[in-house]
Chain A
Amino acid sequence: MDGIRSLGRWVLARVERLGHASLFMLAVLAGTGTALRRFHLVIRQMHNVGVLTVLIILVSGLFVGMVLGLQGYYTLSDFGAESSLGLLVALSLTRELGPVVAALLFAGRAGSALTAEIGLMKATEQLAGMEMMAVNPLTRVVAPRFFAGLFSMPLLAAIFTAVGVWGGHLVGVGLIGVDEGLFWSRMQDGVDFQDDILNGVIKSFVFGFVVTWIAVFEGYDTVPTSEGVSRATTRTVVNGSLAVLGLDFILTSLMFGEL
């Protein structure tokens, strides 16, 4: 009996938290106009969230592309289909790996920083101080960070994918010696702009929305102690990554499901 009761309590607490997060998001979105009018705040946050994440995106994209090139070649050469290497690399990156891995890195690099920053602001009562001065922390602190994340994520995913394709080319054509013309022409034959590239961009938008939402909410909702901030940061990375992977499955089945 006690077990069932605690299960019920757990479910109710989750649902309540989801409701809190949704109301919080609505409040942030309600301040969209004010936040976008003070665009220099968004730009400053885009530096923190986007520009500083570029390096890890570049390096991981390059290596993911290079590994895809190597692994793809070993498998494809069994079937005498090395010429499809470019297609394999490009399709895996544009459809899945680009948006997903970029979003996971984004959650780890930028999401955790957002949560920690907002959480510490709350713990040191800066947010309460703003309210005292009749400044709404949702539009002054949270909204610029949210929009910076929303705008940065698709750009980061595009950079990741492009660098990954280049990495695959580096290994496939440069190292292994797949024919350069076939590599590109098979790729261009098989990759569709709307179905593959645009769907990847839509995915990265959704991931950017969800990860940044989780990050700013966890920061804003943190227990204002050092332990609370550390827990909130962990939750951002864990829940953000899980949300990305789960949503990816749903989006993929919606986008590529029917033939």
Chain B
Amino acid sequence: MVRRQTLELLVGLFVVAGVFALAMLAFKVGNLTGVDVTKGYTLKARFDNIGQLKVKAPITVGGVRIGRVAAIHMDENFYAIATLNISKQYGELPKDTGASILTAGLLGEQYVALEPGGDEEVLKDGDELTITQSAFILEKMISQFLYSKAAGSDAK
């Protein structure tokens, strides 16, 4: 039998170690300190094609992460609507902000890049982004390229 004081000390150390490990996971491994989107606002963006965009994909302005995609669904006209959660700490975006879906690296995940315009008015919670550019689909580009190549050689 271990003495009671020693035992309590050991159990205390064990609990501290466990809580410390959890804190390390939360702050060092996870992104608990990252962009806080719970105190933000949401925008909607309508795309023809969202490609491989997934929920939780990052939203960036000039490469700086300002939020994440909250939901993706489809409206009655078969447009894909992405709901964007944007953190408040980065100020307000002008009304004519454009959204495009880009790919990080050649095979990386897709993200939404916003390009602020010069409008005086700002976007408010629930507004819709109208200037959008769809995802880049490699197969479509290749077939278009081949088609224009073939058409070009016919003309000669």
Q: Which residues of A contact B (CB under 8 A)?
A: 40, 43-44, 46-47, 50-51, 54, 79, 90, 94, 152, 154-156, 158-159, 161-163, 165, 184, 187-189, 191-193, 196-197, 201, 259
Contacts and interface: CB of A to CB of B under 8 A. Distances in A.
Given A162-B20, A163-B21, A259-B54, 18 more contacts: A43-B7, A44-B7, A46-B11, A50-B14, A51-B14, A152-B14, A155-B14, A155-B19, A155-B22, A156-B18, A158-B21, A158-B22, A159-B18, A159-B21, A191-B29, A192-B56, A197-B25, A197-B30
A43 B17 contact: no
A187 B29 contact: yes
B31 A47 contact: no
Nearest to B7: A47
Given A44-B7, A47-B2, A51-B14, A201 B22 contact: yes
A197 B56 contact: no
B107 to A, nearest CB: 8
Given A158-B22, A259-B55, A193 B17 contact: no
Contacts of B18: 154-156, 158-159
Interface residues of B, number: 29
B55 A193 contact: no
Interface of B: 2, 4, 7-8, 10-11, 13-15, 17-22, 24-26, 28-32, 34, 54-56, 58, 107
20 contacts: A43-B11, A47-B11, A50-B11, A51-B14, A54-B17, A94-B29, A155-B15, A155-B22, A158-B25, A159-B21, A162-B24, A188-B29, A188-B31, A189-B31, A189-B58, A192-B31, A196-B30, A197-B25, A197-B26, A259-B55
B30 to A, nearest CB: 4
A161 B25 contact: yes
B128 to A, nearest CB: 24
Main secondary structure of the interface of B (DSSP, over half): helix
Contacts of A187: 29
A160 to B, nearest CB: 8
A164 to B, nearest CB: 10
Contacts of A196: 30
Contacts of B34: 188
Contacts of A46: 11, 14
A51 B10 contact: yes
A187 B13 CA distance: 28
